[in-house]
Amino acid sequence: MKVVVAFVVIVTLVVGTGSVLAAHERRQGEADDEAGSSVALLALSWVEGRLLVRHPLFWVPLVLSLGVMMLTFGWWWSSDVVGPQTDAVWLMAITAAVSILGLLLASNRTALRTRRDGTRELVASLPTAPRTRTAALLIGGWLPAFTLLAVTATAVVAYVVGRPDLDRFRWEPVQLGVVVVVAYGAVVVGVLTARWLPVAVSGLVGVVAVMLLNNTFDHLHPQWRWLHVLPEPDFGGIFDLREDRWHLAYLLALVAFAVGIALARHGLRPGVVALLVIGGLGTVVTGWVQTRPPSLAEVAQRVAMLEEPAAHQTCETHGAVRYCAYRQLGHFIPEWRAAAEGVLAAAPDAAKPAALDVVQRPYVHTVDELLPEVRAALDRDAAFGADGDVHPAMQLHLDHRHTEVAYMTAASLVGLPPSVAVGNVACVASGQARGMVALWLTAAATPEAATSLRERAERLTPNAVVVLDTVPEWGTGDYEAVVGSGAAGGDLLGALALHELPVAAVQAALAAHWDDVLDPATPSAAVFGWLARPVPEAVVATEKVVPDQSDGVFRRTCA
Amino acid sequence: MIEVRTVTKRFRGVVAVDALTLCLGPGITGLLGPNGAGKTTLLRMIATVLAPDEGSVTVDGRDLAVADQRVEVRRRLGYVPQEPGFHLGFTAFEFVDYVAILKEMTDRRARHDEVRRVLALAGLDDVRSRKIRALSGGMRRRLAIAQALLGSPRLLVLDEPTAGLDPEQRLRFRELVTSLAPDTTVLLSTHQTEDVRALCQRVIVLHAGAARFDGSPDRLATTAAGRVWTAAERDPRAHLAWVHADGSVRHVGEPPAGAALAEPTIEDAYLLLVGRHDDSVASRRRRRSRAVA
């Protein structure tokens, strides 16, 4: 509710201050004549729209953002993670964010143009009414909004065409609509602040107000955050109650209300009152729809999605493995399948399970982001129990796309916990043969997984914990873990040394000693003995060094 | 036809226009007066940007106090404010085009033709694609005049239109104004008495918000007849005296007996009118201000 109160307070402050300033100007003898016609409305709208598109505060940030995006795309894409929110609009929003704020400032400056440039007197002698000039700016504002959509969409298409491997962009018309409405809303806020707060800094006031309203009050609340213009995108994820179209309707109503406030500066004419009423009611109704308490059935449905995920997911069975992903993330399954099948192909026959479930589930900490009603009804042990299954994350790191599931599958084969469970404490199989074997199986799974492990090995310190989570940083510091176990840096180096040997040779040695592999007491160095190979120095060192487990969730040794 | 009836305008209690009554028909009328005389306030009221505190202004029978009629007047009005602002990032063409749209010229092709016409009239067709920030002060002044000519208005209100123009530009301005349709009412304020003499059929001398003279420029000059003389030495009894290029001293005021009278000019008459009223007007204004307060 804080966001509602903040919105009302800010609007009241702007309108109240504007009224005081207007009264002061009238006392100074300034013209305050609302008489005039609207004949020129459309012609003026077109001109104002074109001027906004040409405004440097709009196109310079847009061009710079596009340039930065083009230059850094490879970098940030390669280091980024895809998930349910990874759709085209996300990329467009990043590209457009600065220019949307620039658009707010541009429309504000445009609306203050007569005042700033001293043409008020001339314009006051012309037959077009002040309200028509305001309305023309508000109508013309759609032009830069759609221009922004076209430019950013074209840029995203260009990115995607240039990178054929990026085939996971979703093009949701509703979300594209959000981009347009948010950009248009920026124009409206710029005009609104200019009309009610006709001072040079009013544009900045608008920017600060928007950022304040969008990024502070209740912005992490599972329910109330939907009252923000652009809520945190990956918060609550697929367990939310609301739908994109309701948010679009909410934004449209909010913008209509803001248009009404801007036009109200020229008097409460019937059309303006209608806009205020429709916009206000629309905002309240759509805001309520998005933040309403869930019904019992909705609560039960979301609890079931968490406690029995496979029953609510898209599942495919290939060989002994069943893969299940939430509906929006079915495109992860081919990646998981490549990883799991690679591990199973490298594993000795004795290690291969009769059946294995790879079932997606959210992070343990997602519980804190659920609606309170869902959270209260949820059995956490059922949802996040240590069931021995492989539970991939809700996101996928494209440069490490096979690593997480490959390691989880390998961990399940060697008797290590594949996934983190309730309590969110993972273990470290430091210096244990099974930990190193799990890492070797991971490297052997796919070339991508092997590359990923090599990259991580380059960044290792001797006593580091090897965490093969979706994102390398996860599981350390304040990040949440997905995998249930890790190994020591020396184990990874040992695994990579094994990876240099023929797979069949390693496979045969492991097959001969599989029971030893499963024994937590078997040291990593033993594997090299089975292969009659010298033990790498790093592996020897691992036996003497206890990895630093003080930071993150890897706080115990795997028993 | 402009009718100004007992119009008064005050700013913070100070009377700028004082129960002024005027009637203006087609032709060019010049407003003369010192700074603070109320010229600009009067023009702003006629140009509909300022409402009088008392009295009424009508243009072609339309009462400016009535919103619809005021808008009708704006449709027939061309106005050059004393300090016309410009959107410096616009080109000359864009600026006049923008004003043309605000003047309800919605047909794009016709509007652009009209914009080109007025820019050519103002001698700006060569610089129409140039940003206003790159134009000289004189060019900007002409740009202000150009926008006022859009749509060939029946009423042209020009507040010091020749300020900042060089001699050639002033002559071109005169040519431009005198080429307007004969039924156009032009009201211009200026400090340039040569412009008044060259352009105006009628001149009104405004001082302290009141009209001190209303008639033709020739008749204004004749009001100084017998009160302008030349002498070899400066006469302390003169209201004002200055040395001519030939060394003689021209005096304005009550001449001494036997003085060599000179042909009076508009400037002489203006000086006598304004100077004579200076003291009495100032004291009356102060009294009015106190009364209003």
Model confidence pLDDT, tens digit, residues B168-183: 888 988 998 988 888 8
* Identity of the residue in A29, A37, A122 whose CB atom sits nearest the CB atom of B84: A122
B103 in A contact zone (CB under 8 Å): yes
Query: What is the largest distance, in Å, between two alpha-carbon atoms of chain B?
Result: 69
Q: What is the pLDDT of residue B286?
A: 45
Mean pLDDT over all residues of chain A?
86
Least confident of A71-80, A120-129, B94-103: A71-80
Chain B residues with beta carbon closer than 8 angstroms to that of A118: 83-86
How crowded is residue B126: how many other Cβ atoms within 10 Å of its Cβ? 11
Interchain contact, B104 vs A37, CB within 8 Å: yes
Give the burial string for B188-207 (b: 16+ CB within 10 Å, else e). Answer: bbbebbebbbbbbebbbbbb
B210 in A contact zone (CB under 8 Å): no
Angle at CA of residue A480, ends A478 and A483, nearest 5°: 135
User: Long-range contacts of range B173-180, CB-CB < 8 Å, 24 or more positions apart?
Assistant: B173/B142, B173/B145, B174/B198, B174/B199, B176/B121, B176/B122, B176/B145, B176/B149, B177/B28, B178/B28, B180/B152, B180/B156
| Residue B116 Cα, gap to closest chain A Cα (Å) | 18
Do residues A418 and A497 lie in contact, with contact meaning Cβ atoms separated by under 8 Å?
A: no
- For the stretch B248-286, pLDDT in tens is 899 998 888 778 888 999 999 998 888 765 545 444 554
Q: What is the pLDDT of residue A93?
A: 74
- What amino acid occupies position A107? S
Do residue B245 and residue B109 come from a single domain?
Answer: no
A120 in B contact zone (CB under 8 Å): yes
- For the stretch B53-76, pLDDT in tens is 999 999 999 999 999 999 999 999
A172 in B contact zone (CB under 8 Å): no
Query: CA nearest A42 in B: which residue?
Result: B106
Question: Residue for token digits 């085939």?
Answer: A167
Do residues B16 and B43 lie in contact, with contact meaning Cβ atoms separated by under 8 Å?
A: no
* Identity of the residue in B11, B74, B83 whose CB atom sits nearest the CB atom of A29: B11
pLDDT confidence of A559, banded at 50, 70, 90? Answer: confident
The whole-number average pLDDT for the span A419-437 is 87
* Identity of the residue in B12, B70, B101 whose CB atom sits nearest the CB atom of A43: B101
Do residue B7 and residue B71 come from a single domain?
Answer: yes
- For the stretch B129-176, pLDDT in tens is 999 999 998 899 999 999 999 999 999 999 999 888 888 888 988 998
Chain A residues with beta carbon closer than 8 angstroms to that of B147: 122
In the listed set B199, B215, B231, which residue is the last one of a domain according to the structure? B215
Query: CA nearest A40 in B: which residue?
Result: B104
How crowded is residue A310: how many other Cβ atoms within 10 Å of its Cβ? 17
- For the stretch A160-199, pLDDT in tens is 676 655 555 667 788 788 889 999 999 999 999 999 988 8
- The top-scoring range by mean pLDDT among A119-128, A539-548, B178-187 is A119-128
Task: Report DSSP state, residue A368.
Answer: G
Do residue B235 and residue B138 come from a single domain?
Answer: no
Do residue B143 and residue B159 come from a single domain?
Answer: no
| Residue A240 Cα, gap to closest chain B Cα (Å) | 48
Interchain contact, B101 vs A42, CB within 8 Å: no
Q: What is the pLDDT of residue B72?
A: 95
Domain that holds residue B270: 220-292
Interchain contact, B44 vs A120, CB within 8 Å: no
The residue with greater pLDDT, A47 or A420, is A47
What SS3 string covers A273-338?
HHHHHHHHHHHHHHHHHHHCCCCHHHHHHHHHHHHCHHHHEEEEEECCEEEEEEHHHHHHHHHHHH
Question: Which residues 32-61 of B are in CB contact (within 8 Å) with A?
Answer: 44, 47-51
Interchain contact, A127 vs B102, CB within 8 Å: yes
Total domains in chain B come to 3
B23 in A contact zone (CB under 8 Å): no
Chain B residues with beta carbon closer than 8 angstroms to that of A37: 71, 104
- pTM assigned to the model: 0.81
Chain B residues with beta carbon closer than 8 angstroms to that of A123: 102
Whether the CA torsion A506, A509, A511, A515 is positive or negative: it is negative
A35 in B contact zone (CB under 8 Å): yes
Q: What is the pLDDT of residue B255?
A: 85
Q: What are phi and psi of A301, to 5 degrees?
A: -65, -40
Give me the CATH number covering residue B211. 3.40.50.300
A554 forms beta bridges with: A426
**Beta-carbon contacts of residue A554 (< 8 Å; ≥ 6 apart):** A426, A427, A428, A465, A467, A475, A476, A481, A486, A547
- Chain-centre distance of CA A236, in angstroms? 11
Do residue B90 and residue B182 come from a single domain?
Answer: no
Do residue B204 and residue B185 come from a single domain?
Answer: yes
Interchain contact, A128 vs B101, CB within 8 Å: yes
Do residue B143 and residue B158 come from a single domain?
Answer: no
Q: Is the pLDDT of residue B217 over 80?
A: yes
Q: Is the pLDDT of residue A232 over 80?
A: no
Query: CA nearest A39 in B: which residue?
Result: B104
Best probe of the B interface among A126, A128, A139, by most B CBs < 10 A, is: A126
Local structure of A427: helix, strand or coil = strand
For the record, the structure tokens of A206 come out as: 């608008």
Q: Is the pLDDT of residue A79 over 50?
A: no
Q: Is the pLDDT of residue B289 over 60?
A: no
A47 in B contact zone (CB under 8 Å): yes
Do residue B3 and residue B71 come from a single domain?
Answer: yes
Do residue B205 and residue B226 come from a single domain?
Answer: no
Q: What distance in Å separates the CA atoms of residue A212 and residue B178, rounded to the nearest whole number?
A: 60
Local structure of A34: helix, strand or coil = coil
- Chain-centre distance of CA B85, in angstroms? 18
Do residue B176 and residue B72 come from a single domain?
Answer: yes
Do residue B33 and residue B161 come from a single domain?
Answer: yes
* Identity of the residue in B47, B67, B87 whose CB atom sits nearest the CB atom of A117: B87
Interchain contact, A121 vs B81, CB within 8 Å: yes
The residue with greater pLDDT, A536 or A425, is A536
Do residue B141 and residue B20 come from a single domain?
Answer: no
Report how far apart the first and last C-alpha atoms of chain A are (Å, whole number).
48
In the listed set B133, B150, B167, which residue is the last one of a domain according to the structure? B150
pLDDT confidence of A415, banded at 50, 70, 90? Answer: very high
In the listed set B108, B129, B150, which residue is the last one of a domain according to the structure? B150
Pairing of strands B228-231, B249-252: antiparallel
Q: What are phi and psi of B101, to 5 degrees?
A: -65, -45
Chain B residues with beta carbon closer than 8 angstroms to that of A29: 11-12, 50
Chain B residues with beta carbon closer than 8 angstroms to that of A119: 84-87
Q: What is the pLDDT of residue A215?
A: 82
For the record, the structure tokens of A15 come out as: 């309108």
Angle at CA of residue B53, ends B48 and B57, nearest 5°: 45
B165 in A contact zone (CB under 8 Å): no
Local structure of B19: helix, strand or coil = strand
Please give the C-alpha separations between residue B81 and each of A125, B9, B132, in angstroms, as whole numbers. 9, 18, 17
Interchain contact, B71 vs A33, CB within 8 Å: no
How crowded is residue A78: how many other Cβ atoms within 10 Å of its Cβ? 11
* Alpha-helix residue ranges (DSSP H) falling in A197-269: 202-215, 244-264
